[in-house]
C-alpha cells in the first residue's frame, strides 16, 4: 500500500492561495498588501473551482496565485514598508515628547524607496511597457489637471504635468499621433509608438471636481508607479530618438503659462558634445566611434549653429524636427505632417492645450492669443498665417488672406488623414457630426452617413468596401433585402428554444413594429402601407421564388437546430440572438436617422 | 486699646491690610492712619476724619440723636486714637469661649433698647466687629469692657486701661457675667456681616408685602409690634423729593420702612460694581510682589552636606551615549542634516538597456515574464455616441433618456448619456472623470481575472452535417386531401392493411370509413359514445376492425369491403367465440374477477356489421391488435393491473396479464416481431415477455409524462413521445436510456408513428404541426440509426389548445394521414 497522500498537498489548493493566507504569510497589514499588489501588478484570480482552491470551503474568497505571493515574499519593498512604519513610530514618539530636534533629525532621514526595479520586473521589454501605457497616461494626464488634494500633493501634480508634457513633446517630435476624438468625457488621443497603439484620454481643462467617494490613497499608489513608469518610458523614448532627457525647463516661458513651450527639447548631440569635452565623464570610448558618428561629428558644428540660430527665432522643436526630418520617409512624412504647410492661429476661446499638441504633432506651426498663454511665435496680424481657428458664432474682423474654421476641422482632418473641405467648418456653420475614429465597421454594422460620405470622398474603395451610403431613395431591391433581413431576424425568435407564448407575442409585436418601421421608411402611414402590401402581394415572380427558397432554407435551418445538442444549440441560439439584436439596433438607428432627416427637412421648409 | 490691637494685627498678617484701609470703615481707618506708613501726613487723615464726623452727625440727626451725643461719641474715638499711639503690645490670647461670650453679650445688651443709645451702639459695634473678625474674642471682650467703662464716663484713664489686663479679666468670670449685663449693646455697624446685624424689625424671612395692609411692619425682639412710621401722601413726597437735593442717593429700606441716604462711598461702591470693578477703591490689584526668598542672595548655604560625587564627575552613561554618536558619525551613519545626499543618480535612466543586452534566460525578469500573465483588459474605445457632436440618430429619445436616468447607475449599459453640444466651446467638463479613473484602478487591482478561451464559433460550423432532405425522398410533404365530415375531434384513425380504406373515430360518437384516394365517406357507424380508438386487424386474411367507444369495445366486420371468402373467415374468427365461450361456461368457472363481458350486440347493430361487443367497467382508452390478428389488448382508464387486458377474439376470452401495475398506464403495444408487450407508464416504458411472463427491461426516457410509443417494424428501436415536447429514440440493443432526444415541438407530442414500409417516422403535436423524420435503421449493428428531420407539416388548426391527435402512415405509399382536434383528417403525400 502506497503512502497516504495528504489532502490539499497538490492541485488547485496549491496553485491558489486566499488573501488572508497571503497576509499571514507575508506578515503585512492589509493596506500594505494592497499597496504591494498595486505596485507589483498582482491581481486576484478566479479559480475554476472555488471549492477545490479553498480546501473544500465554498465561502466567497479572493484568490491569488500562490506563486505570486511567493514572489512577494522576496520583495524589497516589504522591508521598506516596515522601515517606514518604524520611522513613523519614532517620529510620532519624538513629536509626542515635543522633541523637535529629534523629529527634525528623523525627518531628514525619512526612509524613501523607488520603484525602478518594479518597472523592469513588470515590463521586461520596452514594448511590454508601451503596451501597458494606456492607464498610466490616462492617470498622469488626469492628475496633471487635478487640484492638490490630500495624498496628492503639489509636487505630484507638478511632476504629472511635467511627465505629460514630456510625453506630448515626444509625440510631437516623432509625429506618431494617429487619431483624435472629442468625446463628451474628454479628448481621446491615439498614438502609435513602435507598432503599439497607445490610447489615452485627457479631460477638458476645467477645474476637476474632487469627488468624496474616491479613495485618493489608492489612486496615489497607482500614480506613484505610473509616474515612475512614464518617466522611464519617456527617458527611453527621448534617448532613442536622439533627444536629451530630461528636457530643460524654460523658466520664463513656464511663468508665462506657455504650456508645451515651457520645455525645451534639445537634440542629444549637443549634450553629448558637452559631455565629451569633460574628460571625467567620457562615456563613449574612442574605438566605438563609427564612421557615421565621425561624419556626424564633422557636421556637428554647422548643425549647432543652425540650432542656435533657430532657437532665437522659433521654438526648438522645429529645428529638431528639421534636423531629423531628412531621415524620414517621404510618404510617411506627408501622412504624418498633414499641416506642414499651414500656419495656424488660435483664437482665445479654442482649447490651446489640445490644438497646439495636435497641430504640432502633425507638423503645423501655430500662434495663439496672448490671453491663452505666452510664447506665441506668431501675432494675430502675421501675414504668414493661413488658418485661424475660431469657435465663436460670428467673427468680427477677418483677415482676407486666411480662412476661419471651427476647431473640429482640425480633428476631423486628422482622422480623415487629409485636409478636409473647409466649407462645412466655417464660422457660423452647423458642423457635420464628429465621429469616433476608433470604430471599425464590420459586415452588417450601421455606418453613419458622415462616415460613408467621408469614405466615398476619400475613395478608399479597397479599405472599406462594405461602406455604402445609407440613402433613403435606394432601389426597391435593397428594400427587399431589408424585408428579408427582418424576416430572418424575427424567424430566429421562432427558434425551438423559445417556447414561451410571451416570447412569441414579442416576436409578433416585433414583426409588427418592423413593418411599421418599414412603412415609416417608405414615408407613408402604417395603414396605407398595409393596404399597399395586401393590394399587390409582391408581384415579381423572381422575388417570390427566392423568398420561397429562403423560407425552405430557413425551415431546414430550424429543423437542423433541433437536432443539435443542448450545448451547441445554446451557442447557435446566442449567435442568432446577437445577430438579431445587432440588426435591430441598426434598424433603430436607421429609422432615427430617417426621422431626424425628416424633421430637418420640415424645419427647412 | 482697640487701635493698639489693630495696629499690632496688621503687622502680623498682611492680608488684613486692605480691609482695614477700606473706606467702608471710616473709623478704623481714621484710627489706622498713624500706624500706616502709606498715610504720611496727619493733615490728610484729619480732613477725612472731619468729613466722617459730619456724616455721623447727619446720621444721628436722622435717627433722632442729638448732636451732642454724637460729638461725645466722636470725642471717644479721638481718645481711642490717642490710645493707639501708645503702641502697646498686649498679650494675644485666643479663646473661642470668650469670643462666643462676647457675641452673646451683645445680644443681651440689646435688651436695653434705648433708641439713641442703640444707634450709638450701632456705630460702636460696627467698629467692634471689625476687630472681632480680624483678631479674636479677647479683644472684643476688652473692647466691650472698655466701652462699658467708656459709655458712662468718657474720660477713661490711660493708665487704667493699661492695667486692665486679660488675666484680671479671665480670673473673674463671675464678675464678667455681671459686668456683661450692665454693658450696653454693641452694634457691629458697617463692618459686620449682614447676618450678624440685628435689624430693628425682626420679622424674619417673611415677605414685607404681607404687611402692606397692616399698621405695623413687623415685630421687635420683644415681640411687640413695630408700627409703620407715618407716611406722607404722594404729593408731599413729591414735593419733598423736589426739595431734597439728596433724592438721588436715597434708597428705601422696606423692612424698616425708612429712607436710607447713601453716602458718597457707598455710591462709589455701587458705581464700581456697575462698572465691573473691584468695589474697594483702594485695592490695588497690581501690587508689587514681595519676594521673600529669591531676591536675596544667601551668603551661606542652607545645608552643610558635601557636594555629591555625580555633581563633579562626568557621567558614564552620558559618555556612552556620546561615544555612540561619535561612532555613528565616524562610520557615516549620521550625516549633517540638510547636506545634499550622496546619491546623485538621475531619477530616470535606461532600465531596459541591461535587460535587452542580457539574453540570459534565467534572469528574474525573464522568469517573471515567462509566467502566464493575464494583462488587464483594455478599456473599450469610444464609439460614435460618445462624441461631443454625434450624428442625430445616436441621440437618445426622451423615453430612453428617462429610463437611463431611472436605472441604477451600476446596471447601466453605458455610463454616459449621448449628448449633442453643437460646438466645442459649449462642452463642459465631465463630472465623473475622476470616478471613472478610480473605478478603473479598482478593477485593475481588485477584480479577479480569468483567462476565458473563447473560440469564435460560427453558427454554420456548428450545424450538424445532415444529408439534404431532398436526397431522402420520398416522404410526405404536401397536403393532398382533407376528409371532412366529423363534427368532433377525430381521436383515432387507422388504415386497413390493403391501404385502400381509412377508419376514423371521433368525439361525435361515430366511426367513419373513408376511401383514401377519393376522400369519400363510405360508411358511418354511430356508436353513441366517444370513440377513443379504432384499429384494423393487421391480419391480411380477415377484414375486421375494433373500435373503442366508451367502456365498450366493438369488433366490426365491414362486409362491404371484403369478398365473400374474407367475410366468412372474418365472421368465423369473430363469432366462433360465442360457442367456445358457452362451452367454457359449462366446463369451468369463469374468472369472475375480470371486469369483462363478451356480448352479442343488438340485431340492429349486427345489421351494421358489429358482431361482438366487449364491455368493460371503465372507459376504454386504447385498443391494440397483435400482429397475428387474434389477440386484442385494451387499456382502460383505471389504475392497477386490471387496466390492461388481453382478449382472444377467436375464443372470446379475456385475461389479465398483470396482477398489479405500477403507475398509470399511458399506452400499450405488442412488439411486432417478438412475444413482447410494451407498457408505457407515466415515466417509464416496461417491456414484458408474455411467454415467460417476465419483465425484460425498463426504458427510461427521462421525460415527465409519456404520451405515446411506437416500435420500429424491425423491432429493435422504440420511439417515445411525451407531453413535455420531447421525442426519445431508443435502441433496445444498446441501452435503456434514449439514444437520441429531440425537442422540436412547442407543445405536447400526441402521437408518434413509424412507417411500416419506409424509413420514416412522424410525430404529431398540440402545436398543430406534424414533424416527419427520416429514421434509417441499418442492418449493420455497428452503425447507429440515422435520424434526419425532413419536414414540418402544417395544416391542422388548433382547437382548445389541442392540435393533431393522431397520425398513421399508409402501409404501401409514402403517405401520412393525420387527424386533428379540428375534426378534419388530412392526407399528406
pLDDT in tens, B94-115: 433 434 434 444 444 444 444 4
Cell triple for residue A91? 517620529
How far is C-alpha B493 from the chain's CA centre?
66
Mutate to test the interface with A, among B335, B370, B462 (most CBs of A within 10 A): B462
Hunting for cell 508634457 — which residue is that?
Answer: A165
Q: What is the average pLDDT across B620-624? A: 91
3-state secondary structure at position B751: strand
For B470-828, CATH gives 2.130.10.10
Nearest CB neighbour to A560, from listed B371, B447, B466: B466
Q: Do B364 and A121 touch (CB under 8 A)?
A: yes
Q: Do A218 and B442 touch (CB under 8 A)?
A: yes
With beta carbons under 8 A apart, name residues in chain B contacting A433.
Answer: 384, 387, 389-392
Q: Do B743 and A134 touch (CB under 8 A)?
A: no
Mutate to test the interface with A, among B353, B436, B445 (most CBs of A within 10 A): B445
User: Chain B residue with minimal CA distance to A597?
Assistant: B392
DSSP state for residue A426 in the 8-state scheme: B
Helix (H) or strand (E) holding B599: strand B596-599
Confidence of residue B302 (pLDDT cuts 50, 70, 90): confident
**pLDDT tens column, B667-679:** 999 999 989 999 9
Q: Quote the minimal CA–CA distance from B429 to chain A in Å.
A: 6
Please report which residue ranges of B756-808 form alpha helices under DSSP H.
Answer: none
Beta strands in B428-584 (DSSP E): 479-483, 490-495, 501-506, 510-515, 521-526, 531-536, 545-549, 552-556
List of residues 6+ apart from B180 with CB closer than 8 A: B101, B105, B108, B109, B144
Q: Do B338 and A108 touch (CB under 8 A)?
A: yes
With beta carbons under 8 A apart, name residues in chain A contacting B387.
Answer: 181-184, 433-436
User: Cα–Cα distance between A340 and B604 in angstroms, integer?
Assistant: 112
pLDDT of residue B80: 42
User: Chain B residue with minimal CA distance to A124?
Assistant: B365
Confidence of residue B630 (pLDDT cuts 50, 70, 90): confident
Q: Do B381 and A436 touch (CB under 8 A)?
A: yes
With beta carbons under 8 A apart, name residues in chain A contacting B787.
Answer: 563
User: Cα–Cα distance between A71 and B542 in angstroms, integer?
Assistant: 90
User: Cα–Cα distance between A507 and A502 in angstroms, integer?
Assistant: 9
Nearest-10 crossing angle of helices A526-535, A501-522 = 90
Q: Is the pLDDT of residue B17 over 50?
A: no
Q: Quote the minimal CA–CA distance from B665 to chain A in Å.
A: 28
CB A176 within 8 A of CB A192: yes
The closest alpha carbon to B345, from A112, A166, A165, belongs to A112
CB B468 within 8 A of CB B785: no
Q: Quote the minimal CA–CA distance from B666 to chain A in Å.
A: 25
Q: Do B463 and A43 touch (CB under 8 A)?
A: no
With beta carbons under 8 A apart, name residues in chain A contacting B376.
Answer: 43, 135
**pLDDT tens column, B32-64:** 333 334 433 344 444 444 444 454 455 445 444
Cell triple for residue B470? 431532398
User: Cα–Cα distance between B686 and A10 in angstroms, integer?
Assistant: 48
Mutate to test the interface with B, among A183, A448, A503, A521 (most CBs of B within 10 A): A183
pLDDT of residue A85: 93
User: Cα–Cα distance between B565 and B648 in angstroms, integer?
Assistant: 22
Cell triple for residue A88? 513613523
Q: Quote the minimal CA–CA distance from B729 to chain A in Å.
A: 12
Helix (H) or strand (E) holding B697: strand B694-699
Which residue positions in chain A have pLDDT lower than 70? 269-334, 459-546, 604-605
Q: Quote the minimal CA–CA distance from B772 to chain A in Å.
A: 10
Q: Is the pLDDT of residue B438 over 60?
A: yes
Cell triple for residue B563? 369478398
| C-alpha radius of gyration, chain B, whole number | 69
What is the pTM (predicted TM-score) of this model? 0.59
ipTM > 0.85, yes or no:
no
User: Cα–Cα distance between A266 and A255 in angstroms, integer?
Assistant: 20
Q: Do B744 and A126 touch (CB under 8 A)?
A: no
Q: Pick B175 or A75 by higher pLDDT.
A: A75
φ, ψ at A401 (rounded to 5°):
-90, 15
pLDDT of residue B97: 40
Q: Do A184 and B387 touch (CB under 8 A)?
A: yes
User: Cα–Cα distance between A41 and A46 in angstroms, integer?
Assistant: 16
Nearest CB neighbour to B350, from listed A183, A206, A236: A236
pLDDT of residue B337: 58
Cell triple for residue A505? 407575442
Residue ranges per domain, chain B?
2-194, 470-828
With beta carbons under 8 A apart, name residues in chain B contacting A448.
Answer: 384, 391, 393-394
3-state secondary structure at position B554: strand
User: Cα–Cα distance between B94 and B98 in angstroms, integer?
Assistant: 8
Q: Which of A55-59, B147-151, B466-470, B748-752 has the lowest mean pLDDT?
A: B147-151
Confidence of residue B67 (pLDDT cuts 50, 70, 90): very low
Q: Do A210 and B434 touch (CB under 8 A)?
A: yes
CB B543 within 8 A of CB B529: no
- What Cα–Cα distance (Å) separates residue A171 from each residue in A237, A351, A533, B2? 10, 18, 60, 107
- % of chain B surpassing 90 pLDDT: 22
CB B1 within 8 A of CB B161: yes
Q: Is the pLDDT of residue B215 over 60?
A: yes
User: Cα–Cα distance between A476 and A496 in angstroms, integer?
Assistant: 33
Hunting for cell 444529408 — which residue is that?
Answer: B467
Q: Do A67 and B371 touch (CB under 8 A)?
A: yes
Q: Quote the minimal CA–CA distance from B364 to chain A in Å.
A: 8
Mutate to test the interface with A, among B423, B727, B793 (most CBs of A within 10 A): B423
DSSP states along A202-245: E--SSPPP--TT--HHHHHHHHHHHHHHHHHHHHHHHHHTTB-S
3-state secondary structure at position B827: strand
CB B758 within 8 A of CB B814: yes
Instruction: Give the angle subtended at the CA of A473 by the CAs of A471 and A478, to the nearest 5°.
Output: 80
Mutate to test the interface with A, among B334, B346, B348 (most CBs of A within 10 A): B348
With beta carbons under 8 A apart, name residues in chain B contacting A44.
Answer: 446-449
pLDDT of residue B447: 93
Confidence of residue B9 (pLDDT cuts 50, 70, 90): very low
CB pairs under 8 A between A and B: 263
Nearest CB neighbour to A44, from listed B432, B435, B448: B448
Q: Is the pLDDT of residue B2 over 90?
A: no
- What Cα–Cα distance (Å) separates residue A536 from each residue in A482, A521, A529, A530, A544? 18, 18, 11, 10, 12
**pLDDT tens column, B329-382:** 999 887 775 555 556 678 888 888 877 776 555 555 555 555 557 888 899 999
CB B689 within 8 A of CB B696: yes
Nearest CB neighbour to A449, from listed B378, B391, B790: B391
User: Cα–Cα distance between B302 and B311 in angstroms, integer?
Assistant: 17
Q: Pick B580 or B56 by higher pLDDT.
A: B580
Q: Do B375 and A105 touch (CB under 8 A)?
A: no
With beta carbons under 8 A apart, name residues in chain A contacting B423.
Answer: 391, 406, 408, 431
Q: Do B425 and A349 touch (CB under 8 A)?
A: yes
Q: What is the average pLDDT across B677-698? A: 91
pLDDT of residue A182: 94
Q: Do B388 and A564 touch (CB under 8 A)?
A: no
Q: What is the average pLDDT across B489-507? A: 90
With beta carbons under 8 A apart, name residues in chain B contacting A226.
Answer: none
With beta carbons under 8 A apart, name residues in chain A contacting B743.
Answer: 496, 562
Nearest CB neighbour to B437, from listed A131, A139, A555: A139
User: Cα–Cα distance between A119 and A77 in angstroms, integer?
Assistant: 13
The closest alpha carbon to A268, from A239, A296, A288, belongs to A239
Nearest CB neighbour to A34, from listed B347, B445, B771: B445
SS (H, E, C) A293-356: HHHHHHHHHHHHHHHHHHHHHCCHHHHHHHHHHCCCCHHHHHHHCCCCCCEEEECCCCCHHHHH
Hunting for cell 529629534 — which residue is that?
Answer: A102
Q: Quote the minimal CA–CA distance from B794 to chain A in Å.
A: 12
C-alpha torsion A157→A160→A161→A163, nearest 10: 160
CB B476 within 8 A of CB B815: yes
**pLDDT tens column, B714-756:** 888 999 999 998 999 999 888 889 988 888 888 899 999 999 8
pLDDT of residue B350: 87
Output the furthest CA–CA distance in chain A (Å, rounded): 101
Nearest CB neighbour to B424, from listed A182, A219, A571: A182
Q: Do B393 and A34 touch (CB under 8 A)?
A: no
pLDDT of residue B369: 53
CB B177 within 8 A of CB B148: no
Q: Quote the minimal CA–CA distance from B721 to chain A in Å.
A: 15
pLDDT of residue B358: 63
Amino acid at each position: 500500500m502506497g503512502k497516504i497522500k495528504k489532502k490539499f498537498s497538490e492541485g488547485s489548493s496549491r496553485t491558489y492561495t486566499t488573501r488572508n493566507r497571503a497576509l499571514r504569510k507575508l506578515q503585512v497589514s492589509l493596506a500594505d498588501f494592497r499597496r504591494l499588489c498595486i505596485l507589483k501588478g498582482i491581481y486576484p484570480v478566479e479559480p475554476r473551482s472555488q471549492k477545490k482552491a479553498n480546501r473544500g470551503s465554498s465561502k466567497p474568497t479572493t484568490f491569488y496565485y500562490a506563486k505570486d505571493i511567493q514572489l512577494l515574499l522576496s520583495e524589497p519593498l516589504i522591508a521598506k514598508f516596515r522601515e517606514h512604519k518604524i520611522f513613523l513610530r519614532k517620529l510620532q514618539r519624538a513629536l509626542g515628547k515635543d522633541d523637535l530636534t529629534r523629529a527634525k533629525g528623523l525627518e531628514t532621514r525619512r526612509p524613501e524607496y523607488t520603484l525602478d526595479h518594479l518597472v523592469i520586473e513588470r515590463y521586461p521589454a520596452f514594448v511590454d511597457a508601451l503596451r501597458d501605457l494606456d492607464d498610466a497616461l490616462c492617470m498622469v494626464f488626469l492628475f496633471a489637471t487635478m487640484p492638490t488634494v490630500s495624498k496628492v500633493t503639489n509636487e505630484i501634480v507638478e511632476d504629472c504635468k511635467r511627465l505629460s508634457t514630456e510625453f506630448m513633446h515626444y509625440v510631437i517630435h516623432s509625429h506618431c499621433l494617429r487619431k483624435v476624438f472629442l468625446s463628451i468625457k474628454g479628448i481621446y488621443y491615439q498614438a502609435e509608438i513602435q507598432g503599439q497603439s497607445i490610447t489615452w484620454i485627457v479631460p477638458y481643462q476645467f477645474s476637476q471636481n474632487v469627488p468624496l467617494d474616491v479613495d485618493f490613497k489608492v489612486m496615489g499608489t497607482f500614480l506613484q508607479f505610473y509616474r515612475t513608469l512614464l518617466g522611464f518610458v519617456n527617458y527611453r523614448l527621448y534617448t532613442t530618438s536622439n533627444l536629451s532627457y530630461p528636457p530643460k525647463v524654460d523658466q520664463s516661458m513656464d511663468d508665462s503659462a506657455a504650456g508645451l513651450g515651457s520645455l525645451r527639447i534639445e537634440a542629444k548631440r549637443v549634450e553629448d558634445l558637452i559631455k565629451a569635452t569633460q574628460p571625467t565623464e567620457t562615456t563613449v570610448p574612442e574605438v566605438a566611434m563609427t564612421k557615421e558618428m565621425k561624419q556626424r561629428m564633422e557636421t556637428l558644428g554647422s548643425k549647432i549653429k543652425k540650432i542656435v540660430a533657430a532657437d532665437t527665432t522659433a521654438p526648438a522643436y522645429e529645428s529638431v524636427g528639421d534636423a531629423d526630418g531628412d531621415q524620414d520617409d517621404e510618404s510617411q512624412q506627408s501622412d504624418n505632417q498633414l499641416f506642414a504647410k499651414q500656419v495656424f492661429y488660435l483664437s482665445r476661446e479654442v482649447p490651446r492645450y489640445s490644438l497646439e499638441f495636435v497641430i504640432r504633432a502633425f507638423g503645423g506651426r501655430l500662434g495663439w492669443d496672448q490671453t491663452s498663454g505666452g510664447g506665441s511665435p506668431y501675432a494675430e496680424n502675421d501675414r504668414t498665417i493661413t488658418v485661424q481657428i475660431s469657435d465663436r458664432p460670428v467673427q468680427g474682423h477677418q483677415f482676407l488672406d486666411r480662412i476661419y474654421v471651427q476647431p473640429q476641422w482640425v480633428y476631423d482632418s486628422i482622422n480623415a488623414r487629409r485636409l478636409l473641405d473647409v466649407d462645412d467648418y466655417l464660422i457660423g456653420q452647423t458642423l457635420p457630426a464628429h465621429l469616433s475614429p476608433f470604430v471599425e465597421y464590420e459586415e452588417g454594422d450601421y455606418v453613419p452617413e458622415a462616415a460613408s460620405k467621408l469614405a466615398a470622398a476619400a475613395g478608399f474603395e479597397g479599405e472599406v468596401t462594405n461602406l455604402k451610403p445609407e440613402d433613403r431613395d435606394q432601389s426597391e431591391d435593397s428594400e427587399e433585402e431589408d424585408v428579408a433581413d427582418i424576416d430572418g431576424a424575427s424567424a430566429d425568435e421562432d427558434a425551438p428554444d423559445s417556447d414561451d407564448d410571451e416570447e412569441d407575442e414579442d416576436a409578433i409585436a416585433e414583426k409588427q413594429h418592423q413593418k411599421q418601421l418599414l412603412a415609416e421608411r417608405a414615408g407613408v402611414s402604417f395603414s396605407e402601407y398595409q393596404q399597399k402590401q395586401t393590394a399587390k402581394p409582391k408581384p415579381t415572380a423572381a422575388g417570390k421564388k427566392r423568398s420561397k427558397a429562403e423560407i425552405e432554407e430557413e425551415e431546414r435551418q430550424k429543423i437542423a437546430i433541433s437536432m443539435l445538442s443542448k450545448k451547441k444549440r445554446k451557442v447557435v441560439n446566442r449567435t442568432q440572438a446577437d445577430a438579431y439584436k445587432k440588426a435591430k439596433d441598426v434598424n433603430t438607428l436607421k429609422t432615427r436617422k430617417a426621422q431626424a432627416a425628416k424633421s430637418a427637412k420640415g424645419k427647412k421648409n | 486699646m482697640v487701635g493698639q490691637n489693630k495696629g499690632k494685627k496688621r503687622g502680623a498678617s498682611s492680608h488684613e491690610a486692605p480691609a482695614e484701609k477700606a473706606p467702608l470703615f471710616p473709623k478704623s481707618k481714621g484710627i489706622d492712619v498713624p500706624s500706616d506708613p502709606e498715610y504720611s501726613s496727619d493733615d490728610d487723615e484729619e480732613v477725612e476724619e472731619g468729613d466722617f464726623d459730619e456724616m455721623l452727625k447727619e446720621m444721628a440727626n436722622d435717627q433722632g440723636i442729638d448732636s451732642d451725643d454724637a460729638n461725645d461719641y466722636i470725642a471717644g474715638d479721638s481718645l481711642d486714637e490717642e490710645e493707639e499711639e501708645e503702641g502697646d503690645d498686649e498679650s494675644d490670647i485666643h479663646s473661642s469661649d470668650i469670643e462666643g461670650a462676647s457675641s452673646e453679650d451683645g445680644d443681651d445688651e440689646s435688651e436695653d433698647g434705648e433708641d439713641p443709645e442703640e444707634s450709638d451702639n450701632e456705630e460702636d459695634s460696627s467698629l467692634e466687629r471689625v476687630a472681632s473678625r480680624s483678631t479674636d474674642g479677647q479683644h472684643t471682650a476688652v473692647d466691650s469692657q472698655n466701652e462699658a467703662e467708656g459709655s458712662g464716663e468718657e474720660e477713661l484713664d490711660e493708665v487704667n486701661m493699661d492695667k486692665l489686663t486679660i488675666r484680671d479679666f479671665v480670673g473673674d468670670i463671675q464678675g464678667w457675667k455681671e459686668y456683661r449685663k450692665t454693658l450696653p449693646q454693641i452694634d457691629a455697624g458697617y463692618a459686620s456681616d449682614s447676618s450678624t446685624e440685628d435689624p430693628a424689625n425682626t420679622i424674619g424671612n417673611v415677605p414685607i408685602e404681607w404687611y402692606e395692609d397692616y399698621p405695623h411692619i413687623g415685630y421687635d425682639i420683644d415681640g411687640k409690634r413695630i408700627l409703620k412710621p407715618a407716611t406722607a401722601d404722594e404729593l408731599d413726597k413729591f414735593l419733598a423729593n423736589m426739595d431734597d437735593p439728596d433724592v438721588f442717593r436715597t434708597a428705601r429700606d422696606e423692612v424698616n420702612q425708612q429712607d436710607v441716604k447713601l453716602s458718597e462711598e457707598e455710591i462709589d461702591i455701587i458705581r464700581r460694581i456697575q462698572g465691573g470693578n473691584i468695589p474697594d477703591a483702594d485695592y490695588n490689584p497690581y501690587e508689587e510682589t514681595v519676594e521673600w526668598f529669591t531676591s536675596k542672595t544667601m551668603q551661606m548655604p542652607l545645608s552643610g552636606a558635601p557636594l555629591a560625587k555625580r555633581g563633579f564627575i562626568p557621567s558614564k552613561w552620558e559618555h556612552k551615549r556620546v561615544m555612540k554618536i561619535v561612532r555613528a558619525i565616524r562610520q557615516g551613519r549620521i550625516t549633517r542634516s540638510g547636506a545634499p545626499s550622496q546619491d546623485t543618480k538621475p531619477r530616470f535612466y535606461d532600465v531596459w538597456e541591461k535587460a535587452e543586452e542580457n539574453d540570459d534566460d534565467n534572469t528574474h525578469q525573464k522568469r517573471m515574464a515567462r509566467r502566464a500573465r493575464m494583462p488587464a483588459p483594455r478599456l473599450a474605445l469610444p464609439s460614435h455616441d460618445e462624441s461631443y457632436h454625434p450624428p442625430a440618430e445616436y441621440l437618445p429619445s426622451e423615453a430612453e433618456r428617462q429610463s437611463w436616468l431611472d436605472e441604477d447607475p451600476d446596471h447601466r449599459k453605458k455610463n454616459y448619456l449621448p449628448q449633442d453640444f453643437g460646438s466645442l466651446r459649449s462642452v463642459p467638463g465631465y463630472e465623473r472623470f475622476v470616478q471613472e479613473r478610480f473605478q478603473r484602478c479598482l478593477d485593475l487591482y481588485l477584480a479577479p481575472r480569468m483567462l476565458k478561451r473563447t473560440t469564435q464559433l460560427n453558427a454554420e460550423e456548428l450545424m450538424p452535417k445532415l444529408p439534404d432532405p431532398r436526397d431522402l425522398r420520398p416522404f410526405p410533404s404536401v397536403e393532398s386531401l382533407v376528409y371532412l365530415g366529423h363534427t368532433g375531434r377525430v381521436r383515432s384513425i387507422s388504415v386497413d392493411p390493403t391501404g385502400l380504406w381509412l377508419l376514423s373515430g371521433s368525439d361525435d360518437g361515430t366511426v367513419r370509413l373513408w376511401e383514401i384516394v377519393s376522400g369519400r365517406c363510405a360508411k358511418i357507424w354511430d356508436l353513441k359514445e366517444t370513440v377513443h380508438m379504432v384499429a384494423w386487424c393487421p391480419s391480411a386474411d380477415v377484414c375486421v376492425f375494433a373500435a373503442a367507444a366508451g367502456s365498450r369495445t366493438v369488433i366490426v366486420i365491414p362486409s362491404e369491403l371484403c369478398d365473400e371468402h374474407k367475410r366468412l373467415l372474418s365472421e368465423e374468427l369473430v363469432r366462433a367465440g360465442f360457442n367456445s365461450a358457452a362451452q367454457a361456461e359449462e366446463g369451468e368457472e369463469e374468472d369472475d374477477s375480470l371486469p369483462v363481458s363478451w356480448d352479442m350486440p343488438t340485431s340492429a347493430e349486427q345489421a351494421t356489421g358489429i358482431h361482438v361487443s366487449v364491455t368493460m367497467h371503465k372507459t376504454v382508452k386504447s385498443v391494440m391488435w397483435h400482429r397475428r390478428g387474434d389477440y386484442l389488448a385494451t387499456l382502460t382508464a383505471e389504475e392497477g393491473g386490471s387496466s390492461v387486458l388481453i382478449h382472444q377474439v377467436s375464443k372470446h376470452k379475456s385475461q389479465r396479464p398483470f396482477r398489479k401495475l405500477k403507475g398509470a398506464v399511458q399506452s400499450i403495444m405488442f412488439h411486432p416481431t417478438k412475444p413482447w408487450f410494451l407498457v408505457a407508464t407515466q415515466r417509464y416504458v416496461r417491456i414484458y415477455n408474455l411467454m415467460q411472463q417476465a419483465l425484460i427491461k425498463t426504458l427510461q426516457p427521462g421525460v415527465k409524462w409519456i404520451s405515446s410509443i411506437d416500435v420500429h417494424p424491425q423491432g429493435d428501436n422504440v420511439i417515445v413521445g411525451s407531453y413535455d415536447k420531447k421525442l426519445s429514440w431508443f435502441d433496445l440493443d444498446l441501452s435503456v436510456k434514449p439514444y437520441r432526444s429531440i425537442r422540436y415541438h412547442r407543445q405536447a407530442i400526441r402521437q408518434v408513428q413509424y412507417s411500416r414500409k419506409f424509413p420514416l417516422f412522424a410525430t404529431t403535436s398540440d402545436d398543430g404541426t406534424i414533424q416527419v423524420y427520416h429514421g434509417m435503421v441499418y442492418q449493420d449493428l455497428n452503425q447507429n440509426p440515422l435520424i434526419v428531420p425532413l419536414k414540418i407539416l402544417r395544416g391542422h388548426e388548433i382547437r382548445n389548445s389541442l392540435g393533431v391527435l393522431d397520425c398513421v402512415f399508409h402501409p404501401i405509399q409514402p403517405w401520412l394521414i393525420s387527424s386533428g382536434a379540428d375534426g378534419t383528417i388530412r392526407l399528406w403525400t
